Amino acid sequence: MSFNGSCLCGALRYTVDQPLGPVTACHCTQCRKISGHYVAAAPADWENVTVEGELKWFESSPQARRGFCPNCGSYLFWEEYDGKVYIMAGTLDGDTGLTMDGHIFYADKGDYYRAGQALPCWAQDRGDKEIEP
């Protein structure tokens, strides 16, 4: 099984040649600051990931760094220097078949939302057809 993904502008593409672990939502302050909300990421082994294009890294702490496209700024990867990479689930192409396993650092979340809120889900823009969550 393999997965493909890219940044918004397409200058950076990647392939993962292994099944991905479950998606975990992280609400820590760093994830909120880098993404504008919380992030959802799935783990993979670096040895099974191929990246095409220039990847820029930001060392967000001595234990971790975050990889993004230097052209469009898309946040693609998070790494803890343990041989694993956490792939931002929203950068994966097409249907993934992945499921979310939970929320971490939920105590740090923004005060404007709750996990599992029953909110309207519009197919596209607000006021468009509502779809089931």
Q: What is the mean pLDDT of the chain?
A: 93
| DSSP-based three-state secondary structure for 10 | coil
The pLDDT value recorded for residue 126 is: 79
Mean pLDDT of 39-48: 97
Residue 129's pLDDT band (cuts 50, 70, 90)? confident
| DSSP-based three-state secondary structure for 47 | helix
pTM of the model: 0.89
Mind listing the domains of the chain with CATH numbers? 3-108 (2.170.150.70)
pLDDT, tens digit (0-9, with 9 covering 90-100), for 53-71: 999 999 999 999 999 999 9
Locate 15 and state its tokens.
Answer: 């392939």
What's the DSSP call for residue 29?
Answer: H
Q: How far apart are CA 124 and CA 131, in angstroms?
A: 9
18 pLDDT exceeds 70? yes
41 pLDDT exceeds 90? yes
Mean pLDDT of 66-92: 96
Mean pLDDT of 94-106: 94
| DSSP-based three-state secondary structure for 126 | coil
The pLDDT value recorded for residue 4 is: 98
